[in-house]
Structure 1
């Protein structure tokens, strides 16, 4: 079974057209991975689909790095398990 980190990186790589091995936790979607605003919206939608979660717009705006997306998915899934 893939970890949350692996799944996030796979989605990022697929949506932004980069090699999965080159997606690092410290990468910024806009600066390092060159994702424009539309690509970031599509990335959020893909993450929502991958993890079956909802990411509100105000929270999505705060997801600027791969690590932030990983942390958000972990927290959302942790909350879903304990709810």
Structure 2
């Protein structure tokens, strides 16, 4: 089942909230994970693993560093769906 960008954004927001306590409404496409949301690398890896399970995608470790904004992650997940 393919997810829409809106579904992926909503799901990612839930994962970020669960991991960091940041309000889901703060998780917007233009936000940077590190600069705006202040997510460290350990929390980011947890979010990535949970996102892989939630959306049925694989996000290689060497790709994670390229996911600088919420939009980057949403695009990667939407485009990575089978």
TM-score w.r.t. length of structure 2: 0.82
Alignment: residue pair count: 78
Q: Distance in 2 between matches of 1:33 and 1:69?
A: 14
Q: Distance in 2 between matches of 1:17 and 1:37?
A: 16
For the aligned residue pairs, the C-alpha RMSD in angstroms reads 1.7
Runs of 4+ in structure 1 off by over 4 angstroms are none
- C-alpha contact (below 8 Å) 1:16/1:33 kept by paired residues: no
Q: Distance in 2 between matches of 1:27 and 1:35?
A: 11
Q: Which has the higher contact order (CA 8 A, sep 6+)?
A: 2
Query: Which residue of structure 2 aligns with residue 25 of structure 1?
Result: 29
Q: Distance in 2 between matches of 1:26 and 1:20?
A: 14
Unaligned runs of 5+ in 1: none
| Mapped pair 1:76 → 2:76 | no
- Rg larger in structure: 1
